[in-house]
Structure 1
């Protein structure tokens, strides 16, 4: 008679051990499914819309190709990197980026006056973006900021320099960045 009791006792202990193991594994699974948050070194996939003070949309990728960046890799402006830090997959955020954390303030030294004949006649309009190369071969994209009688004033500042930027972002994915 004692034998069945011993079997029951062993079976009961086995069940307790099995239950403990299953519970521990379930706990491990919970830890693994906790969403990763944006932090330095993580690859972040984003959907975003960028607006200006007048609420005009400057850029958006909503409904298009998501943006993939490595957080902390200086691939995007500092104000956006700061705002993304700590966000989780699926999280949405609206935030404002001041010029200092965006494309900088307008630099008066970035304006250059050139002879009017250096610019094609059909491009001599305020706001026209030109393409050129520096002496060392680097591409530049100045905009015409003023047309004078004999000269044209070119603005080499980024088009969004001096502007406050308004972002709507959604984190679509956060993953460990691949080593290159």
Structure 2
């Protein structure tokens, strides 16, 4: 998937590591590779794209142009607020002049400081791409039909790009029940309760006849035995003590 702003051809969304490097937007913090799209499910993909993807075939590539109303919305002047520089510093611990052009959080809302002048600060709470016509290029690599594979993809998606493929979740579907092994170190991750809730929610919504989902925390003896392998393995959101 590639997303560009029509007016300046600027790349803002990319799933290909090769293209990201070529365009100079590559980041080691980002996870590249095919993206799971749940057709018709809000939040998985823009509604304007979902309608097009639903009718695409495997291997097909399509360019899709979306007007602002079908993409990130029109820019709303009501979402541009003004604050005193002193208020942001004292109340929200934000240094406006150092944060110009950056994303900030004010009262639980994310916005961008767009102007600082005469002690007044203008913050734009619109989506950064509001008002822009965008062009996506999408290729359908595969359509998932196997329920176990669907569940594995839900796990990948909700763990936020952590390298889940290196671990065995041993997904079992037994009539109306789904069992998922939760290997260390995933069982100790921050926010694991919310992740389990969202995985379960997707299973109930998209896998037929399932009434129960259980997560089994797996602890192995080797985890407690210091070794070179243990000190070098992948740890999402976990650090060793010294």
TM-score, normalising length: structure 2: 0.49
Using CA pairs below 8 Å that are at least 6 residues apart, which structure has the higher relative contact order?
1
Equivalent residue for 1:50? Answer: 3
- For structure 2, the 5+ residue unaligned runs are 18-31, 89-93, 152-202, 205-242
Look up the match of 2:211.
Answer: none
Contact kept, 8 Å, 2:97 with 2:116, in 1: the verdict is no
Structure of larger gyration radius: 1
Shift of the 175–113 alpha-carbon distance from structure 1 to 2, 3 Å rule, reads same
Q: Does 1:130 align with 2:104?
A: yes
2:61 corresponds to which of 70, 92, 95: 92
More strand by share: 1
Q: CA deviation at 1:83?
A: 1.9
Of 144, 157, 165, the match for 2:126:
157
Alignment: residue pair count: 127
Distance 2:107 2:125 in 1: 12
Matches within 5 A, 1:103-122: 103-117=72-86, 118=88, 119-122=94-97
Residue equivalent to 1:72: 40
Q: Is the 8 A contact 1:124 1:147 kept in 2?
A: no
Q: Taking structure 1 as reference, are residues 59 and 69 closer, same or farther at Cα in structure 2, changes over 3 Å only?
A: same
Stretches of structure 1 that go unaligned for 5 or more consecutive residues are: 1-47, 135-139
- RMSD of Structure 2 on Structure 1 (CA): 1.7
Aligned to 1:42: none
Q: What's the TM-score once normalised by structure 1's chain length?
A: 0.65
* Distance in 1, Cα, partners of 2:96 & 2:72: 30
- Kept in 1: contact 2:63–2:138 (CA 8 A): yes
